[in-house]
């Protein structure tokens, strides 16, 4: 990780957080008063995976770290959110029969679990993206896609309130994939974004509504955001006051570039989409958070080092910017 000041300038060197012999993947970060928490998973040489959670001081000194799990099966793709004096984590974990489920639970800031983890829903081999938001009430909301009693992947939302989980399917079982949802909550309202293939191409959709309506079927009230010849994927959303910020990647130009568009709280666009990157590398999977009166974004610039089909020989760098 690296600290930035309020204007996005570097405040020091990169800080290495993990030093184990295992591979460390897909870190997620949450701010704490005097530091930060990170969730990630580690993969051993034999392929075994285990989700992890830890807390660090701002200077990168480790405070504590521990595996997070409901049982002894492999676990992966954890996310972390901070709320008051607690941390919420969600992750994917397999049982003894190799069935995968989404789990959630709370931890104290010293790493002590607050109660037993709760199973939130069915996952699967194609569930690679969990996202979450904490409501002002302290209820945790988790969104993900899964092929769970459906023909292909559809969107699901789970809430965890007072130790009890509620799960709903958001998209219709129409045989067309709905993938990689993200969620933002603020002031009694919320927004969910994802990409869908229902129009014959991967396009980004956005649904904004009062929080009480977000857990209803989402398809008919969603706005199609992109209408490009290329694939629009990796959409992420944030709310800042009366504005919703949406960022995604699109490959219509031949390689992926990052785009941004602001919306009002009802999901109506406030201005046309802006292209934020224009590089010979692929600009992938933007993260977005509120920043001052606008938004801060980070993404990967990915360079493929081999032209062979299916090659994963790539190099990537992290890019950061802000938009008003």
- Nearest Cα neighbor of 28 from 47, 51, 5, 44 is 51
Per-residue pLDDT reduced to its tens digit, 223-246: 999 999 999 999 999 999 999 999
Residues 185, 157 within the same domain: no
Q: What is the largest CA-CA distance in the chain?
A: 51
Q: What pLDDT sits at residue 219? A: 81
Are residues 146 and 29 part of one domain? yes
Q: Hunting for tokens 């990170």 — which residue is that?
A: 38
Among the candidates 139, 169, 199, a domain finishes at 169
- 111 and 202 share a domain? no
Do 128 and 19 share a structural domain?
Answer: yes
Q: 287 phi and psi, to 5 degrees?
A: -100, 145
Is there a single domain that holds both residue 194 and residue 139? no
Residues 165 and 228 grouped into a single domain? no
> Do residues 112 and 255 share a domain?
no
Residues 11 and 123 in one domain: yes
Query: What's phi and psi for 70, nearest 5 deg?
Result: -95, -25
Give phi and psi for 297, each to the nearest 5: -135, 150
Band (309; pLDDT cuts 50, 70, 90): very low
Backbone angles phi, psi at 169, to 5 degrees: -95, 130
Q: What is the DSSP string of 261-282?
A: EEEETTS-BSS--EE----SSE
Name the CA dihedral angle for 11, 12, 13, 14, rounded to a multiple of 10 degrees. Answer: -50
Same domain membership, residue 273 and residue 150: no
Q: What is the DSSP string of 53-107?
A: EEEEETTS-EEEEEE--SSSS-EEEEEEEEETTEEEEEEEEE-TTS-EEEEEEEE
- Measure the CA–CA gap between 76 and 292, rounded to whole angstroms: 33
Domain boundary among 169, 195, 215: 169
Residue 307 has pLDDT above 70, yes or no: no
Domain that holds residue 261: 176-324
pLDDT number for residue 306: 60
Based on the domain organization, do 162 and 230 belong to the same domain?
no
Residue 97, domain CATH: 2.115.10.20
Q: Tell me, yes or no, whether 23 and 117 share the same domain.
A: yes
Which of these three, 122, 151, 169, is where a domain ends?
A: 169
**Global pTM?**
0.95
Span 205-222, pLDDT tens digits: 999 999 989 999 998 889
Residues contacting residue 122 through CB under 8 Å, at least 6 positions apart: 99, 100, 101, 102, 146, 148, 149
How far is CA 35 from each of CA 2, 56, 70, 84, 199, rounded to the nearest angstrom?
12, 6, 26, 14, 44
- Average pLDDT, stretch 297-315? 75
Dihedral sign of CA atoms 62, 68, 74, 80 in order: negative
> Domain tally for the chain?
2
Query: What distance in Å separates the CA atoms of residue 247 and residue 51, rounded to the nearest whole number?
Result: 27
Same structural domain, 260 and 221? yes
């Amino acid at each position: 990780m690296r600290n930035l000041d309020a204007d996005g300038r570097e405040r020091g060197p990169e800080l290495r957080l993990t030093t184990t012999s295992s591979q460390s993947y897909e870190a997620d970060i949450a701010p704490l008063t005097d530091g930060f928490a990170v969730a990630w998973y580690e993969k051993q040489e034999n392929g075994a995976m285990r989700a992890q959670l830890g807390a660090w001081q701002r200077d990168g000194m480790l405070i504590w770290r521990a595996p997070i799990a409901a049982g002894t099966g492999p676990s992966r793709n954890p996310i972390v959110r901070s709320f008051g004096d607690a941390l919420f984590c969600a992750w994917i974990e397999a049982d003894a029969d190799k069935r995968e489920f989404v789990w959630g639970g709370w931890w104290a800031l010293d790493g002590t679990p607050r109660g037993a983890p709760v199973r939130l829903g069915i996952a699967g081999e194609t569930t690679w993206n969990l996202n979450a938001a904490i409501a002002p009430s302290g209820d945790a909301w988790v969104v993900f896609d899964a092929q769970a009693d459906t023909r292909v992947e559809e969107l699901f939302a789970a809430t965890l309130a007072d130790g009890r989980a509620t799960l709903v399917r958001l998209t219709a079982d129409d045989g067309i994939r709905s993938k990689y949802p993200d969620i933002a909550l603020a002031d009694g309202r919320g927004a969910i974004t994802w990409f869908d293939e229902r129009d014959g191409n991967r396009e980004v959709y956005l649904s904004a509504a009062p929080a009480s309506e977000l857990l209803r079927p989402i398809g008919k009230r969603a706005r199609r955001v992109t209408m490009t010849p290329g694939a629009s994927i990796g959409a992420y959303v944030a709310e800042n006051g009366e504005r919703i910020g949406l960022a995604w990647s699109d490959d219509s130009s031949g390689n992926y570039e990052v785009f941004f568009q602001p919306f009002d709280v009802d999901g109506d666009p406030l201005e046309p989409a802006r292209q934020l990157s224009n590089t010979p590398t692929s600009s992938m999977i933007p993260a977005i958070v509120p920043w001052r009166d606008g938004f801060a974004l980070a993404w990967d610039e990915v360079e493929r080092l081999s032209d062979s089909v299916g090659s994963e020989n790539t190099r990537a760098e992290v890019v950061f910017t802000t938009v008003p």
